[in-house]
Amino acid sequence: MSYWQELEHKYYMSTVERLPITLVRGQGARVWDEDGREYLDFVGGWAVNSLGHCHPVVVEAVVEQVHTLIQASNQFYTVPQVRLAELLVQNSCLDKVFFCNSGAEANEGAVKLARRYGQLNLSGAHEIITTMGSFHGRTLNMVAATGQPKFQQPYIPLPGGFINVEYNSIEAIKAATTSLTCAVMLEPVQGEGGVNLPDNNYLTAVREWCDRKGILLILDEIQTGVGRTGILFAYQQLGIEPDVMTLAKGLASGIPIGAILAKDRASVFNPGEHGSTFGGNPLACAAGYATLKFILDNDVAGNASRIGRYLIDGLKGFKQKFQFITDVRGYGLLVALEFSSDISQSLVMDCLDRGLLVNQLKPNALRFMPPLIIGNEEVDEALSILDKALSIIVS
Ligand SMILES: *Cc1c(COP(=O)(O)O)cnc(C)c1O
């Protein structure tokens, strides 16, 4: 164990099983550890480094903003915040934006918005229906919203107001809807919970149901948004529009940011009803603006779509050779590779040794979420490393 790793064990709360390398530098789709070893990064800071590590347009925007204005009280108008809000509204179906600092905080705000909507329009309805296998963040409310026992059990009793129902079942949502329901909250594709794709017509059925009941549809696009699924927002390829959408991860390519977007009719906060000290500060918004502008101007989402298909085709090509591969699935550059047995931990370690970072999605599945700017060469390189790692499993 290195010096830094020993210090970490001494001083840092142990909330995660770390992999045994200390990253000190990143550029594009590559990172380097403290010994100078290079890795191809198909984790991308948890689907965060949309433009890769230290992309020049992000670095430039941050450096310029750092020298200009880093933080201001939200009592004052600031320019980067307005520019990023305008760009988001111009390129989505939503009308209003609020910025915060993380995904969980964005979802918390979306839930507050839905409750306020319920107070004003639905006789005080305040319950939110979410799905099993979802992931909405680590605050207590979002743990209650997240339909996965492993995140919930350590913190029982959980706050009320969330009903977790079976995923991909419109009937389950219908059965859980009562006069107390103010919203349904879903990820268009469940990311953390397994890269679980929505069945055909599931989301359109949910949309119709929400319309019929007059309740809000909140889409958590924290992982799927900003180009990740091969289009700017995943809802655009699913034939529906949300009333409220949350973003975070890839929006500023690594600088912490979260966002709540809402249609005008759902945008019901009044002054004083919500806030955030750092939320929407000039630094994060300048990074967000630079990232989103680059993604739009260079059709980075289109690249994610093309390269994602190339990656999925490559992984599907492995199925002949490695019979223990049971599934390859994903949209754009959010891709999962599933196995018939629990081999992902050893695959992650073997790939690491060979210079490729991949995520253990489940004991029997890997997830790939590389920067959206990669090309076929990076995919070829990753596939070749995976091929070797998978071959060892066989023999
Ligand atoms: C990562 C994630 C979150 C939580 O975001 P944080 O920034 O870690 O709070 C919420 N929802 C989804 C879909 C996510 O992938």
What integer best gives the mean pLDDT of the chain? 97
pLDDT per position as a tens digit, 205-254: 999 999 999 999 999 999 999 999 999 999 999 999 999 999 999 999 99
Mean pLDDT computed over 73-91: 97
Claim to verify: residue 92 and residue 136 sit in the same structural domain = yes
Read off the pLDDT band of 394 (50, 70, 90). low
Type of residue numbered 112: K
* Residue where a domain terminates, one of 244, 275, 297: 297
Same domain (yes/no): 239, 305: no
Task: Determine which helix (DSSP H) or strand (DSSP E) holds 99, and give its type and residue range.
Answer: strand 96-100
Q: Tell me if residue 233 is catalytic.
A: no
Q: Are residues 277 and 220 in the same domain?
A: yes
- Is 135 one of the catalytic residues? yes
The response to whether residue 151 sits with its C-beta less than 6 Å from ligand 1 reads: no
The DSSP element (H or E) to which 179 belongs, if any, is none
Q: How many residues comprise the chain? A: 395
Atom from ligand 1 closest to the CA of residue 137 = 4
**CATH assignment of the domain containing 358:** 3.90.1150.10
φ and ψ at 23, to 5 degrees? -85, 135
Q: How far is the CA of 207 from the centre of ligand 1 (A)?
A: 22
Distance 371 CA to ligand 1 centre (A): 17
Share of the chain above pLDDT 70, in %: 99
Ligand 1 site, residue 192, Cβ cutoff 6 A = yes
Q: Are 142 and 105 in contact (CB under 8 A)?
A: no
DSSP output for 105-143: HHHHHHHHHHHHHHHHHSTT--EEEEEBT----SSHHHH
- Here the tokens at position 264 are 């005008």
List, for residues 310-340, the tens digit of each pLDDT value: 999 999 999 999 999 999 999 999 999 999 9
- Pair of tokens at residue 379: 């995919």
Ligand 1 test: best mutation among 249, 331, 359, most atoms within 8 Å of CB?
A: 249
Do 89 and 202 sit in the same domain of this protein? yes
Average pLDDT rounded to a whole number, residues 11-29: 97
Q: What is the CATH number of the domain that holds 258?
A: 3.40.640.10
Residues 266 and 304 in one domain: no
Q: Which of 289, 305, 306 is nearest to 297 (CA)?
A: 289
For residue 44 the two structure tokens come to 């991308």
Q: Which domain holds residue 138?
A: 56-297
Question: pLDDT tens digits for 264-296?
Answer: 999 999 999 999 999 999 999 999 999 999 999
> Of 135, 151, 233, 269, which residue is the catalytic one?
135
- The residue out of 297, 325, 351 marking a domain boundary is 297
Domain boundary residue among 268, 297, 326?
Answer: 297
Shared-domain flag, residues 44 and 153:
no
Instruction: Encode pLDDT of 362-371 as tens digits.
Output: 999 999 999 9
- Over residues 301-305, the mean pLDDT reads 98
CA angle, 39 then 307 then 362, to 5°: 60
Which of 140, 218, 222, 228 for mutating ligand 1's site (highest number of atoms within 8 Å of CB)? 222
Query: In a 10 Å sphere around its CB, with 0-12 CB exposed, 13-18 middle and 19+ buried, how is residue 232 labelled?
Result: buried
pLDDT digits (tens, 9 = 90+) for 182-212: 999 999 999 999 999 999 999 999 999 999 9
Q: Of the residues 42, 96, 99, 249, which is catalytic? A: 249
Centroid of ligand 1 to alpha carbon of 387 (angstroms): 31
Q: How far apart are the first and last CA of the chain?
A: 30
Q: Is the domain of 265 the same as that of 378? A: no
Instruction: Summarize the confidence of residues 80-100 as an average pLDDT.
Output: 98
**Residue 176 shares a structural domain with residue 78:** yes
Residues 46-51, mean pLDDT to the nearest whole number: 97
230: tokens are 């091969």
Our answer to whether residue 98 is catalytic in this structure is no
User: Residue whose CA is closest, atom 15 of ligand 1?
Assistant: 223
Nearest-CA residue for ligand 1 atom 5 is: 103
Count other Cβ atoms within 10 Å, centred on residue 278. Answer: 15
Q: What gap in Å lies between CA 91 and CA 259, rounded to an integer?
A: 14
Consecutive H or E run containing 162: strand 162-165
pTM: 0.98
179 and 242 fall within a common domain: yes
Is the model's pLDDT at 395 over the cut of 70?
Answer: no
Is 221 close to ligand 1, i.e. is its CB under 6 Å away? no
Indicate if 303 and 374 belong to the same structural domain: yes
250 and 348 assigned to the same domain? no
Task: Count the domains in the chain.
Answer: 2
Q: Do 119 and 241 sit in the same domain of this protein?
A: yes
Prior bond of 282 cis (ω within 30°): no
If one residue of 131, 135, 151, 260 were mutated to test the ligand 1 pocket, choosing by the most ligand atoms within 8 A of its CB, it would be: 135
Beta carbon of 187 within 6 Å of any ligand 1 atom:
yes
User: Among all chains, which residue has been given the structure tokens 């590779």?
Assistant: 337
User: Does the Cβ of 167 fall within 6 Å of ligand 1?
Assistant: no
Write down the pLDDT at residue 393: 86
